């Protein structure tokens, strides 16, 4: 295994996905990469007061500031890429903003046309907390909001909506260090993008942002075959996770549950109806995020539940 380091620079950062992007790094299956990423907005300097406008990498960003793409040599469509998160260390500051733009949530709450409200966080990794400028604090649970591969379709693709085929802006807070996310490879060499560091987030990311921050992430990228689920899924400290993404929340929920039943049935050596009965006893359905043009739902089979 080779260990690589990838800094976040103008040459290594993109704000859209494309199968035509030249790789900024090429690795072999099983290699480790320490990936530096800017916060989602690509700030080059920290804010000193909430909402302060500071220089950014992209003057007019089209999406998240993502490090990549990283090519995995020999990856081909039909395979699965395992992204093992071995370490996640947030930077020393972060921000959150809500309101001021039209989403189903802000419209429902009457906050789509009011000025945005900003929070500014001081992050203390050693203490495991982020303290907001007004005094409230949250416990750190860092993860990447965006981990995805280039879509198969030609052209440039926005980073905001998560994709059932390629992942991306999943925003699942369970993908902490010690987790593995499985992504279906869409294009030769996979072309992996990483970024959108979150120091902490609640299920749903209800305001549209988390504690957004720069991140240092150590991942191992491994090609695997014969996974029990065809689509995006994960193994995390919290348990096994399957996902659904769709503009219709009912469809997203059904997709997440369908994949979980498909995973659970062979684990217990039972048929799908019996697997659904067991799922009803132990599986949690959670709204992953509500603000990214596509609803996200994840189903969680807690670690150790049912003896599997």
Residue 200: helix, strand or coil by DSSP?
coil
Closest listed residue to residue 173, CA positions, set 149, 153, 147, 155: 147
In whole angstroms, give the CA distance from residue 293 to residue 83: 25
In whole angstroms, give the CA distance from residue 29 to residue 225: 12
Looking at residue 292, its pLDDT comes to 87
179 alpha carbon, distance to own chain's centre: 12
Q: Do 260 and 272 meet the contact criterion of CB atoms below 8 Å apart?
A: no
Domains of the chain as residue ranges with CATH: 3-224 (2.60.120.580), 233-307 (3.10.28.20)
- DSSP secondary-structure letter at 230? S
Q: Is the peptide bond preceding residue 69 cis, with omega within 30 degrees of 0?
A: yes
Q: Do 202 and 75 meet the contact criterion of CB atoms below 8 Å apart?
A: no
In whole angstroms, give the CA distance from residue 300 to residue 62: 32
What are the pLDDT tens digits along the chain (308 aa)?
899 999 999 999 999 999 999 999 999 999 999 999 999 999 999 999 999 999 999 988 899 999 999 999 999 999 999 999 999 999 999 999 999 888 888 999 999 889 999 999 999 999 999 999 999 999 999 999 999 999 999 999 999 999 999 999 999 999 999 999 999 999 999 999 999 999 999 999 999 999 999 999 999 999 999 899 999 999 999 999 999 999 999 999 999 999 999 999 999 999 999 999 999 999 999 999 998 889 999 999 999 999 99
- Sign of the torsion angle spanned by Cα atoms 152, 63, 193, 22: positive
Looking at residue 102, its pLDDT comes to 85
Cβ-count burial of 21 within 10 angstroms (0-12 exposed, 13-18 middle, 19+ buried)? middle
Q: Do 113 and 135 meet the contact criterion of CB atoms below 8 Å apart?
A: no
User: Phi/psi at 93 (nearest 5 deg)?
Assistant: -150, 160
In whole angstroms, give the CA distance from residue 220 to residue 182: 12
């Amino acid at each position: 295994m080779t260990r690589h380091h990838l800094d976040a620079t103008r040459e290594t950062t993109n704000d859209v996905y494309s199968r035509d992007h030249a790789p900024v790094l090429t690795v072999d299956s099983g290699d480790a990469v320490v990936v530096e990423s800017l916060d989602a907005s690509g700030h080059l300097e920290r804010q000193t007061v909430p909402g302060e406008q500071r220089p950014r990498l992209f003057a007019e960003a089209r999406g998240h500031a993502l490090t990549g793409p990283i090519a995995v040599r020999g990856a081909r469509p039909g395979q699965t890429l395992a992204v093992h998160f071995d370490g996640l260390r947030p930077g020393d500051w972060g921000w959150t903003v809500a309101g001021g733009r039209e989403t189903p949530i802000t419209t429902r709450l009457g906050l789509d046309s009011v000025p945005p409200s900003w929070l500014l966080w001081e992050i203390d990794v050693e203490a495991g907390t982020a303290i907001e400028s007004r005094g409230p604090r949250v416990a750190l649970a860092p993860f990447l909001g965006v981990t995805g591969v280039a879509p198969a379709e030609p052209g440039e693709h926005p980073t905001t909506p998560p994709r059932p085929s390629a992942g991306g802006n999943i925003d699942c807070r369970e993908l902490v260090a010690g987790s593995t996310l499985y992504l279906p490879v869409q294009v030769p060499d996979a072309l992996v993008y990483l970024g959108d560091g979150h120091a902490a987030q609640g299920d749903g990311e209800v305001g549209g942002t988390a504690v957004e921050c720069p991140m240092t992430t150590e991942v191992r990228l491994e090609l695997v075959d014969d996974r029990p689920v065809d689509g995006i899924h994960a193994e995390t400290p919290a348990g096994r996770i399957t996902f659904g993404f769709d503009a219709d929340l009912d469809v997203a929920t059904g997709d997440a549950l369908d994949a979980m039943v498909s995973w659970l049935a062979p684990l217990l050596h039972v048929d799908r109806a019996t697997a659904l009965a067991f799922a009803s006893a132990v599986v949690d359905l959670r709204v992953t995020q509500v603000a990214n043009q596509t609803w996200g739902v994840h189903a969680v089979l807690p670690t150790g539940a049912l003896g599997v």
